[in-house]
Amino acid sequence: MNGLGIEINNKALLRQALHHPSAGGENYERLEFLGDAVLKLIISDILYKKYPDYREGDLTKIRSIVVSDQILSEIAAELDLDIECDAHLRGTQSILACAFEAVLGAYYLDGKTDELYIVLEKLFTPYFDDVDKNFQKYNAKAVLQEYTQGLNKELPVYKVVEEAGPAHEKMFTVEVCYNDKPLARGTGRTKKEAEQNAAAAACEGLI
């Protein structure tokens, strides 16, 4: 069992936070609900103080990306959270993200809000400026869709063209097409990440 490196008094809460529904018994879903709110509140407070001149829309834009499954799963993977779930689900982006939020909920109920603030600020700070300066990279799918719909209402189509590596360390290659014409390819540890990278490459070539 592991968490964020914060001492927890109620270890049963942490065990629950790392227990996926596929493993049976009491699982992380309720804690995830709570942790999602805790995460957004703390990240909102950090962003509010970090960017005092930014408007609400700018802060919301950054927050929407840094609390996305893509980034939460990256952080959860770095923390090597020991999630109890069916073997074929291990490493799934959504499960990693949900378990991370559930862990936050567990620490919140254990009264560790101040410690959470310090840890989350450290974990997320590297992402804030990167997202702020490179928003298109993180939101490339939305940017590309808006561009293509402005041309003729058609949507980009993404397809996996290659999977490589063992099950727990797969790399996906995705090709994005528009009007049956290939635009670009991208790779990533998840299909979603590969799609974002493909969309970013397409944006560079089209927009």
Q: HSE of 150 in the Cβ direction (CA atoms, 13 Å)?
A: 8
CA distances from 167 to 73, 87, 195 (A): 16, 10, 19
d(CA 184, CA 95) in angstroms, rounded, equals 29
Give one DSSP letter per residue of 170-207, joined into a string.
-EEEEEEEETTEEEEEEEESSHHHHHHHHHHHHHHHH-
**Active site residue: 74, 84, 101, 175, which one?**
101
Confirm whether 86 is a catalytic residue.
no
Confirm whether 58 is a catalytic residue.
no
d(CA 207, CA 198) in angstroms, rounded, equals 14
**Active site residue: 36, 84, 132, 195, which one?**
36
The count of other CB atoms within 10 Å of the CB of residue 125 is 13
Q: Which tokens belong to 207?
A: 């927009």
Catalytic residues: 36, 101
